[in-house]
Amino acid sequence: MNPTLWRPVCVALLASCLSAHAAAPKSDKASAEDAAKPTALTADTINAATLAPPAADKTAPKKDRVKASKSKTDETKPDPLIVKAQVLLDRARFFPGAIDGRKGENYQHALEAFAVAQGLPATQDLNAEVWDKLQATSDKPVVTDYTITDADAAGPYVDKIPPKMEQQADLKALDYTNPREMLAERFHMGRDLVSALNPGKPLDKGGTAIIVAAVDPMALDKPKGKDLPREPKVQRIEVDKGSRDVRAFGADGKLLAYYPASIGSSEKPAPSGTTKVKGVAFDPDYTYNPKYGFKGVKAQHKFTIQSGPNNPVGLVWIDLAIPSYGIHGTPEPEKVGKTESHGCIRLTNWNARDLAAHVARGAEVVFKED
């Protein structure tokens, strides 16, 4: 046959092959590779995140199942599903610490406390039963838009918080150092998550629209005594030294809130036994007494550090009937539950404010040993 006559046939066959290849389903290997790719961190992916069924396919060859089980997501980056779970826990008052989208201990412990409170077996993993209960607590979006105001951008802010207490005493106020720190704390978030959700956006300019966790924003006001305590009222507090958490209970014994905490240190251990809440101070100054003998503080005289979110006791002091001990906030919320304290019980500023707003004067405080 004339070669010229073959050309249309060859072209048709090639087109048919290309069409068939395009229509064919992806190989199992390609599908697995796509599934292993990290999900983009956006408002849509977070709000739509859901717990996928177990990936292992018992009908697949054993070698493929083993390979699939070894596939891991990048745990150094925020996971949309964990962001969603953390926001839901925060709303349910089983606070996971700073919302960061990572599978850290504070998140796992909050998840476990929530599971037990729901009558489920204790677990630090997000399984189907816990996920169903968690989703049932709220059907609203877990992240939302927020527009930075001119007041947000203006501050006031301080250039730097010096590391030594004696140096901090020279500052007129212990304010935030920049808008990112302020916004992170207002919306119960880790600073890295604020940046990850809003890449390239100027956080220091009014009118900038950003994405934040849809939680009750932390206020900076000083509630009046007549307005406290708010419902539900906390009549009993348990401070667990072993699990590093604080639990708040109502008069009927119902668990009202769970908070991760830093509790004492080898230098100055937390108290033991039972005590009571004497009172609450919002936005307090902090006075250092050389009798405390804190490591790294050389001053042999009393000095006062002014109030502010970066004050050593943060935005709240809940005074206990044991001299010099209290439950308070912190200038470093992302370290709560991960570092030691100077003997007291340290919570994130938003958790300290939450507890302070609900705790009754005279409430019992029980220290549980390891």
**Residue 110 confidence (pLDDT):** 98
CB atoms within 10 A of CB 22: 7
Identify the top-confidence range among 62-66, 175-179, 219-223, 295-299: 175-179
Alpha carbons within 13 A on the beta-carbon side of 18: 6
Structure tokens at 329: 């906030």
The reported pLDDT for the residue numbered 293 is: 73
**Would you list the domain boundaries of the chain?**
39-50+76-217, 225-368
Strand segments (E) across 37-153: 143-147
Residue 68: is its pLDDT beyond 60? no
Instruction: Identify the CA nearest to 294 among candidates 340, 354, 353.
Output: 340
Size of the chain in residues: 370
Q: Identify whether the C-beta of residue 283 lies closer than 8 Å to the C-beta of residue 306.
A: no
Instruction: Calculate Rg over the CA atoms of the chain.
Output: 26
The C-alpha atoms of residue 47 and residue 33 are separated, in whole angstroms, by: 24
Q: Is the pLDDT of residue 187 over 70?
A: yes
Give the pLDDT of residue 341.
58
Does pLDDT of 102 surpass 80? yes
- Please report which confidence band the pLDDT of residue 37 belongs to, taking 50, 70 and 90 as the band edges: low
The pLDDT value recorded for residue 232 is 96
What mean pLDDT comes out for the span 303-318?
Answer: 96
Tokens of 330: 């912190």
What's the pLDDT band for 11 if we cut at 50, 70, 90? Answer: very low
Mean pLDDT over 245-259 rounds to 97
**What confidence score (pLDDT) does residue 38 get?**
63
Non-local (6+) Cβ contacts of 285 within 8 A are 304, 305, 306, 307, 311
Q: Which of the two residues, 87 and 38, has the higher pLDDT score?
A: 87
User: If we measure between CA atoms, which residue out of 268, 322, 262 comes closest to residue 294?
Assistant: 268
Mean pLDDT computed over 236-250? 96
How is residue 109 written in tokens? 């412990």
Q: Rounded to two decimals, what is the model's pTM?
A: 0.85
Task: Please check whether the domain covering 225-368 is classified as CATH 2.60.120.200.
Answer: no
